[in-house]
Amino acid sequence: MPKRNIIWLLIGAVVVVLLLKAPESIVRRDQLYTQFGPLLDVRVQVRKHYVEPVDDAALLRGAIDGMLNRLDPYTMYFDEQEYEQFHQRTQGQFSGIGIEVGQGRTGGLVVISPIEGSPAFHAGLRAGDRITRIDGRDTSNMSLAQGVRLIQGRAGTSVTLTIHRPSSDTTIEKVITRGLVTVRTVRGWARDEDWHWDYLIDPEHRIGYIRISGFEAQTAEQFDEALTDLRGRQDVAALVIDVRDNPGGLLDVVANIVNRFIAEGVIVSTRGQFSPEKVYTATRDEKYPPWPVAVLVNGGSASASEILAGALQDHGRAVVVGEPTFGKGSVQELIQLENNNGAVKLTTAYYYLPKGERIHGRGIRPDVLVELSPSERAALVDSQQAVYSTTAAPSSAPQGSAPATPELSSTPAADTAPAGAARAAAIPIDRQLAEALAVLRARLATRPS
């Protein structure tokens, strides 16, 4: 049988994987091939009559993507390489130099930001650097995918990048040894003079601040480390958890974090047409002290972020401040296909908050509604990107010290920084964060001494 026909039979394999999840009484194999016969007929007509040569692999990918796109925005297919990259991202660790790369407006490759603590971070790469050569190969006409493949590699191997830095109009060459990169998803509100994260945003009232940008495999551990750091420097009395613009992540991870705040009861439950109900309940694991907690959310807070906010809200454990959340209440399962044919990320269930609410398509309503204007929103995003993208160490930092994180930046104005805060870089105190701090200060003022 010709190889291209073998490729097209993979369509049947994908369909079987998807549809055999249903009972045999509903889907029969003869019906399956009859129903998808038009797909193969269309392929024949395309190959016979289309104006240009057509690659069967491209048609196959298009057919799979089109089929899954009819389901929902979260169901998708990954080929073998995409699956490996997706798996690495969810684990929060991967081998490489640790940079996010984009395509320049006039071509070529541009550093979006280095990942905190990565080889690229320590080598001094900065947001906006243009990568003009990779191991001597010119990148001016190189695709983004090709550039990423050349930069990636096994830990311990090296790559040579030629960098043009527009800010100083200089060209430098960096030999960077690849390593194991851990993606930092938990951050504080500011960098101190030693360029470490500071999690104490209000020293006077002893209020901590932790931002979670995603729920990946390392997030719960990083969250514990942040709380240990916060409690070690000065006993914390209240806490702000910022999950604005956090798109979500792993269900087990967010359930683990919520479990540390509530003593008993349901955290979240999931169920679907072919998925039996699964209930995550609080256990007797070590708990955080009963601090007043405020959770910051907005329209970019989705999925696992909504579970965190909704579960703590339902249990009366936190006040939710900000704007209505996105409303993604579905659960995706990664199903590997046979013969190294990649994987399907398939929506298999909806999740339900402790009080039984399914928020899919509706989102969570904050207890304290604070809506930012478009200009305020743009200013906040710009200032945060400035801090997260800053990689030049402050002038007070010792020579050779690690550069700033690809995180928040811009030193706050004197009237927005908490008293006594001397910081190299900090997030601005926007109206939503200011309201969360005000809520916690009021709660602390009414607590029994």
From 154, 182, 210, the end of a domain falls on: 182
Length of the chain: 449
Has residue 253 been placed in a domain? Answer: yes
Catalytic residue among 129, 202, 245, 314: 314
> What total of structural domains would you count in the chain?
3
Catalytic residue among 118, 301, 303, 305: 303
Has residue 49 been placed in a domain? Answer: yes
Check whether residue 215 and residue 288 sit in a common domain: yes
Check whether residue 132 and residue 175 sit in a common domain: yes
Structural domain including 24 reads: 3-70
Has residue 118 been placed in a domain? Answer: yes
Has residue 20 been placed in a domain? Answer: yes
Has residue 83 been placed in a domain? Answer: no
What pLDDT shows up at residue 399?
Answer: 25
Has residue 88 been placed in a domain? Answer: no
Active site residue 48: no
Has residue 48 been placed in a domain? Answer: yes
Check whether residue 242 and residue 338 sit in a common domain: yes
Check whether residue 102 and residue 198 sit in a common domain: no
* CATH (domain of 144): 2.30.42.10
Check whether residue 178 and residue 191 sit in a common domain: no
Active site residue 303: yes
From 182, 203, 221, the end of a domain falls on: 182
Catalytic residue among 113, 301, 328, 409: 328
Check whether residue 296 and residue 395 sit in a common domain: yes
Has residue 12 been placed in a domain? Answer: yes
Check whether residue 8 and residue 113 sit in a common domain: no
What pLDDT shows up at residue 448?
Answer: 74
Check whether residue 358 and residue 283 sit in a common domain: yes
* CATH (domain of 438): 3.90.226.10
Check whether residue 395 and residue 420 sit in a common domain: yes
Check whether residue 206 and residue 280 sit in a common domain: yes
pLDDT tens across the length of the chain (449 residues)? 554 555 555 555 555 555 554 555 445 666 767 777 888 888 889 888 999 988 888 888 888 888 888 898 888 898 887 787 777 777 777 888 988 787 776 778 988 777 777 899 888 888 788 999 999 999 988 888 788 889 988 889 999 999 999 888 999 999 999 998 887 889 898 877 766 788 999 999 999 999 998 999 899 999 999 999 888 866 899 999 999 988 899 999 999 999 999 999 999 999 999 989 999 999 978 789 999 999 999 999 999 999 999 999 999 999 999 999 999 999 999 899 888 888 999 999 999 999 999 999 999 999 999 999 988 988 887 776 666 654 433 322 222 222 222 222 222 222 333 333 446 678 889 999 999 999 999 999 998 76
Check whether residue 40 and residue 102 sit in a common domain: no
Active site residue 430: no
From 161, 182, 203, the end of a domain falls on: 182
Q: Which long-range contacts (CB under 8 A, 24 or more apart) does 53-61 make?
A: 56/4, 56/7, 56/8, 57/7, 60/7, 60/8, 60/10, 60/11
Q: How far apart are alpha carbons 131 and 173 in whole angstroms?
A: 10
Check whether residue 106 and residue 45 sit in a common domain: no
